[in-house]
Amino acid sequence: MIRFDHVTKRYAPGAAPALDDVSLEIARGEFAFVVGKSGSGKSTLMRIALREQMPTDGEVMVAGHELRQMSSRQVPRLRREMGAVFQDFRLLPGKTVTQNVAFALQVIGKPRHAIRTLVPETLEMVGLADKGKRLPHELSGGEQQRVAIARAVVNKPQILLADEPTGNLDPATSLDIVQLLDRINRTGTTIVMATHDSAIVNEMRRRVVELQEGRVVRDVAEGTYTPERTTAEPASQDKPEAPVSWEPEPEEDFDPSAGYEGGA
Amino acid sequence: MRLGFILGEIWTGLRRNLSMAISVILVTMVSVFLLGLGMLAQRQADTMKGYWYDRIQVSIYMCTEGAPQPNCNEQAATDDQKATIESQLKAMPEVDQVFREDAQEAFDRFREQFRNSPIADTVQVGDIPESFRVKLKDPTKFAVVSSQFEGAPGVASVQDQEKVLKKFFQIINGVTVFALGLASLMAVCAALLMATTIRQAAFVRRREISIMRLVGASNRFIQTPFILEGVFAALIGSVLAGLAIVGIVQFFVQGYLTTALQSTTTLVGLGDALVVVPILVVVGAALAAASAGVAISRYLKV
């Protein structure tokens, strides 16, 4: 469904690559987490898959489209087969929940009767059937993210990309959201979710692709947030500054959530 | 669905950006109005050409008392001289018709033409030269008449009407060039303003646009409301300009100028205005669509 073939992305010539020779294949119907620190290339990977960015080198295949050879006129067709959700929800503040979801169909020219059935159906699926007339600011963060998910899947895409969808949510709500994504995955939608949330990754036990400085350093089925061997060791969750014996480069930027294990 | 949705978007866009929309409307209106004036001036020139060429080609002015021309010796032309000229004119094969305008008629016409001017009170019968208005069978044979009567006793001057008209047409052409020059300057303003408006509208709607791109709306779908918004504003401006043109023809040219100039000349009428107006509307809309298209390709890259 998604294939990266020796993909390199440099934002400026000569700069360190955001993605460095990444090869990756995600099959139809799969649910994959992409993990890694900030700046490890997760978002770049997502943006390339959405063709918001072009790779500097390598081939990318998404839903049967060869992205490098695709003309900009064909991009809309690709995006209609994909859904995307983000950390910041990206809802239109002036439109109600129903209007926000319907908007995604209106702008691709779906007939009115299709919109009338698809929108309530999708809102029902994400559990917001009774909140259709609310405005985004009247909803909780979790509900807003559900609206964003509804908007992403209302056109029944083959692929759903989620770039840190739980980044702004509390742990319980995050789990609700991921369980919603899991349900969507079970209907056959391929899901790729970039995340920092180790609790969720460890809870779900799905495929984990770890990026580090733009390279794939780990790709395991039913994986955890950090390599299994370290889960056996005591996690140092309270004192990020303290020397960490198993960490080879202690001066590196330390993401507090990275050491947090088994939170669920 | 689509049409209603797009119209809704246009309306929201115009309302949100009302001051810019109004300025686009006004600038387009002025630009298109000037273009209309230029076109009317040209039609006026054509109308007059037809009118004059149908009537007089040559005027032979007779001497008046104290006339400055050396041929006159400050003497008024005698009746004998006038009669001679008239019979000679009538005998010429090139001449089609001869109208004689005597001093009283010339005076009356002058008074009528300049009745709103103080000069009318100072002239007397005899100050305005008596003249023969000659219509030629072939308007280009002016030289034949001119050479025969130039310097004849009692003749002050022979004027080729075409020469007088030429000067007049030059003035009209000058007005046209001026109007069209201003019109194109205003058109540049309109185009730049439109570009700024679209840039601003795109910024105001950047959230919607980013969502549209994300969910796979086609470029045309994203851009059409912006183009239509520009075209819509420009159409309003052009229609206003058209109304102004019709108003000017109806109330100024037909209502005022025609009575002011009496029947000395024909002026553009409503028919001319109605020919000009649709052209203006089309030009206005095309101008808007073109500048909006350029602006969008710069500020709305997809």
More confident residue, B203 or A118: A118
Interface test with B, best of A53, A103, A107 (most B CBs within 10 A): A107
| ipTM tops the 0.90 cut | no
How far is Cα A64 from Cα A50, in angstroms, rounded to an integer?
13
Closest Cα partner for B127 from B110, B144, B149, B142? B110
pLDDT score at B51: 66
Q: Does B211 contact A112 at a Cβ distance shorter than 8 Å?
A: no
First to last CA, chain A: 31
Could you tell me if residue A140 is inside a domain? yes
How far is Cα A247 from Cα A245, in angstroms, rounded to an integer?
6
Could you tell me if residue A29 is inside a domain? no
Q: Does A108 contact B216 at a Cβ distance shorter than 8 Å?
A: yes
Please list, residue by residue across A175-204, b when 16 or more beta carbons sit within 10 angstroms of its beta carbon and e when fewer do: bbbbebbeebbeeebbbbbbbbbbbbbbbb
Could you tell me if residue A232 is inside a domain? no
* Exposed / middle / buried, residue B50 (Cβ in 10 Å: 0-12, 13-18, 19+): exposed
More confident residue, B79 or A20: A20
> CA dist A130 to A95, A121, A127, A143, A205, Å?
16, 12, 8, 12, 32
Could you tell me if residue A225 is inside a domain? no
More confident residue, A95 or B265: A95
More confident residue, B292 or A123: A123
Q: Output phi, psi for A86, to 5 deg.
A: -135, 170
Position A237 confidence tier, pLDDT thresholds 50, 70, 90: very low
- Whether residue B280 contacts residue B245, with contact meaning beta carbons closer than 8 Å, is answered with yes
Query: Which residues of chain A neighbour B208 with C-beta distances below 8 Å?
Result: 92, 103
Position A158 confidence tier, pLDDT thresholds 50, 70, 90: very high
Residues A171-213 have pLDDT tens digits of: 999 999 999 999 999 999 999 999 989 999 999 999 999 999 9
Closest Cα partner for A152 from A133, A179, A125, A171? A125
- Whether residue A191 contacts residue A179, with contact meaning beta carbons closer than 8 Å, is answered with no
Interface check for A73 against chain B (CB to CB < 8 A): the answer is yes
Across A11-20, A225-234, A255-264, B41-50, least confident range: A255-264
How far is Cα B177 from Cα A42, in angstroms, rounded to an integer?
63
Could you tell me if residue A98 is inside a domain? yes
Please tell me which residue of chain A has the smallest CA distance to B2. Answer: A109
Q: Does B302 contact A72 at a Cβ distance shorter than 8 Å?
A: yes
Position A229 confidence tier, pLDDT thresholds 50, 70, 90: low
**C-alpha of B189 from chain center:** 22
Could you tell me if residue A163 is inside a domain? no
pLDDT score at B2: 67
pLDDT score at B263: 54
How far is Cα B29 from Cα B240, in angstroms, rounded to an integer?
6
Could you tell me if residue A151 is inside a domain? yes
Domains (range + CATH), chain B: 2-52+166-299 (no CATH), 55-161 (3.30.70.3040)
Domains contained in chain A, number: 1
pLDDT score at B266: 67
Secondary structure in 3-state letters for chain B: CHHHHHHHHHHHHHHHCHHHHHHHHHHHHHHHHHHHHHHHHHHHHHHHHHHHHHCCCEEEEECCCCCCCHHHCCCCCCHHHHHHHHHHHHHCCCEEEEEEECHHHHHHHHHHHCCCCCHHHHCCCCCCCCEEEEEECCHHHHHHHHHHHCCCCCEEEEEEHHHHHHHHHHHHHHHHHHHHHHHHHHHHHHHHHHHHHHHHHHHHCHHHHHHHHHHCCCHHHHHHHHHHHHHHHHHHHHHHHHHHHHHHHHHHHHHHHHHHHHHHCCCCCHHHHHHHHHHHHHHHHHHHHHHHHHHHHHHCCC
| A97: CB partners within 8 A, 6+ apart | A123, A128, A131, A132, A133, A134, A135, A136, A139, A147, A150
Task: Say what percent of chain A tops pLDDT 90.
Answer: 75
Question: Which of B211, B218, B302 is facing A103, going by the closest CB pair?
Answer: B211
pLDDT score at B8: 79
- Whether residue B211 contacts residue B222, with contact meaning beta carbons closer than 8 Å, is answered with no
Position A253 confidence tier, pLDDT thresholds 50, 70, 90: very low
pLDDT score at B123: 76
Range of the domain at A121: 88-156
More confident residue, A159 or A238: A159
More confident residue, B147 or A130: A130
Query: Which residues of chain B neighbour A47 with C-beta distances below 8 Å?
Result: none
Question: Which of A79, A82, A92 is facing B208, going by the closest CB pair?
Answer: A92
Residues A51-74 have pLDDT tens digits of: 999 999 999 999 999 999 998 889
Report the length, in residues, of chain B: 302
pLDDT score at A99: 95
Could you tell me if residue A42 is inside a domain? no
- Given a cut of 80, whether residue A252 has pLDDT beyond it is no
Which residue shows structure tokens 């601003």? B200
Please tell me which residue of chain B has the smallest CA distance to A109. Answer: B2
pLDDT score at A202: 93
> Mind listing the pLDDT tens digit of every residue in chain B (302 residues)?
467 777 777 777 777 778 888 888 998 899 899 988 888 888 887 777 666 666 656 888 888 777 777 777 777 778 888 888 888 888 888 888 888 888 788 888 777 766 666 666 777 777 778 888 887 777 667 777 778 888 788 888 887 776 766 777 788 888 888 888 888 888 888 888 888 888 888 888 888 889 999 999 988 888 888 888 888 888 999 999 999 999 988 888 877 777 776 655 667 778 888 888 999 999 888 888 888 888 888 776 65
